[in-house]
Structure 1
């Protein structure tokens, strides 16, 4: 992946200093940071370090830039991230004790990794779980479901997943997913044009993907389990399907953009011969691939393209079912700094109030509109392209 130029790093650092300068550094607070460790991420992690003691960085395994990993490993503790291990309350608690025993700690999450064990962490940790900051819609839904099952979340959870500051990132991620899917299809000597597409999920990413496919002159059919989303897709000129089976029937490209389980075992049998399947997130979230073990033979069919075949049926899976855009850096330019700044502001808010008297109520929280406006105005000063 291409390294950032020195001036780009300096500009990002200056922006983050301006944002973090509005919050008092709380050296008594620790932070565990789950993150996509991409090329621009060290500047963000150093900003986190100005607001809290970074107990550990946990890079998402499918999105690690080697140069960024080398840089951060020399500055902060870095540990391996394992979703199954963090889903075990005993393991999660032991890990937290090993890194931040007795400390107030904020958990920075990307995808709800801490959700399965959060109640145990809040109730049994020797320190204090001050709160969580969650970045993704998938993670937002995991914490929302946890709160519903418990009756109340065990601590404050700041979500930036539905923030207007995340809209530019979501739009550009959808563009990058389409770009990467097309690049892999072309690596086989194939093209997008001439193969109808199905977009499963019409949230912010799905909308962007459908729009990009339309711009590439590829007809797309949209399916979303929410009828409201389907009406929106129809109003924007897309064909819609009332069932998943209808959407994928005859599709030459299927893009899963639900953030949840999109294709189950029975659904794969309905995939057209020669179709390509791509995902916007982890294969664990979108695709029931384990159910295909023993049913299909897997063979490599080009860089990051796997052919699944059984008698009379075959299809291609891109990037092993993981977020296809990370193969090409998943870059959204400087717009990613808007989201990272909101994460920093949420961290600063949690660190300032702590877990004692005057702390935030347990439950889902969002940054208020005034704070978001200040972040956007500051971002424009650094990144609007004017001299």
Structure 2
């Protein structure tokens, strides 16, 4: 990042922090994609909270960025689903980092969800609440029986829509790049997009623009009608959509392909996802049945008698292979995360799912326009 760009970004987050920083700064634990643009956001979190630890998402932790964050004095700890899956282990970790303090949990993907009840009931300090960034995480918290604290979700914010569209664009770009590495192209290929939310609909439109014949599958009947209204073929059953697809893009935010579904893939089909393999693909049984071989950069062939398919990036989000950049639009979402943290600290939110108000979003958008729409 050039010096002028760095200064502009620092100034932007400085204004956001000045507007939203609460009088009583809480402690925080930050789960994040540690990508090259992320250190400024980390500093923004540290300006508004007492940042006790950064937990980089394992599949999107840029080594040089991690070194930079650590050299700036922030602690980076290893993140895994297992860390917060066991309530006792999760409680020990949070006690180690922030015993006796009021803590905001900043999440990407619902990591804290399995232990949230235990943390709220047994932590020596207090859990002010959770800020969740993703649709997958939003669903994890929504599925909990009676949330024990407020969870402010930015997953469905209008400020996230530009990012979602551009993430879809980067997913298509990376998918095509990996296929081209093996001498294949998108044009003329039939594709199945699983999930027609903001990301899936963006992917479907972009694939169509590249000459791909797109079929959509979604378990939500409302989204199926939306896909039909936009001119896409809609598969009533997943199996029917899989059989003719030479490319399958999983964007459901839940398990898109279970073990038996892989056997229905047509020979030579490519499979790619927009998130972690553990969230979108049930690979354990498949790995026992199929032989695996690396046949290209980040392309794995799965082969068994009479059947084979290709998995891109080990089933993890393909766009992170090429930086996953969405330009300055990511700073809209990051600013909303900061605003959501401040909303939790005010203490007027009841346990349950929340969003920040339209007035706060307007402040963020206006500030962003001042810096990035010159």
Normalised by the shorter chain, which TM-score bucket?
A: over 0.9
**Mapping 1:193-342, distance limit 5 Å:** 193-342=187-336
Q: 2:10 aligns with which of 13, 17, 20?
A: 13
Q: Deviations 1:26-81 (Å, cap 9, x if unpaired)? A: 56510000000001110001011111110100000000112211110122011000
Unaligned runs of 5+ in 1: none
The correspondence of residues 1-387 of structure 1 with structure 2, limited to 5 A, is 4-26=1-23, 28-74=25-71, 75-146=73-144, 149=145, 152-351=146-345, 353-354=346-347, 359-384=348-373, 386=374
| TM-score (ref. length: structure 1) | 0.95
User: 1:199, 1:221 within 8 Å by CA — same for their partners in 2?
Assistant: yes
CA distance in 1, matches of 2:287, 2:365: 47
**Partners of 1:14 and 1:314 in 2: how far apart?**
52
CA-to-aligned-CA distance 1:333-365 (integer Å, 9 cap, x gap): 0000000000000112222x24xxxx4211111
Deviations 1:221-275 (A, max 9, x none): 0010111111111111111111101111110000000010000111000000000
Cα-to-partner distance string for 1:310-348 (whole Å, 9 max, x where unaligned)? 010000000000000000010000000000000000112
8 A Cα contact 1:301 1:307, kept in partner? yes
Instruction: Give 3-state SS (helix, strand or coil) of 1:205's partner.
Output: helix
Determine the C-alpha separation between the residues in 1 that align with 2:317 and 2:220.
23
Q: Distance in 2 between matches of 1:206 and 1:281?
A: 12
Contact 2:275 2:317 in 1 (8 A): yes
- Separation (CA, whole Å) in 1 of partners of 2:265 and 2:256: 13
Q: Distance in 1 between matches of 2:25 and 2:5?
A: 31
Q: TM-score, length-normalised on structure 2?
A: 0.98
Helix, strand or coil: the match of 2:160?
Answer: helix
Report SS of the residue matched to 1:119.
helix
Cα separation, 2, equivalents of 1:24 and 1:279: 36
What is the CA-CA distance between 1:23 and the residue it aligns to? 2.7
The two structures, once aligned, show a CA RMSD in angstroms of 1.0
Q: Hey, what's the Cα distance between the residues in 2 that align with 1:274 and 1:194?
A: 15
**Does the CA-based 8 Å contact 1:25-1:50 persist in structure 2?**
no
Moved over 4 A (4+): 25-28
2: distance between equivalents of 1:155 and 1:113?
A: 15
What secondary structure does 1:344 align onto? helix
Cα contact 2:25–2:48 (8 A) shared by 1: no
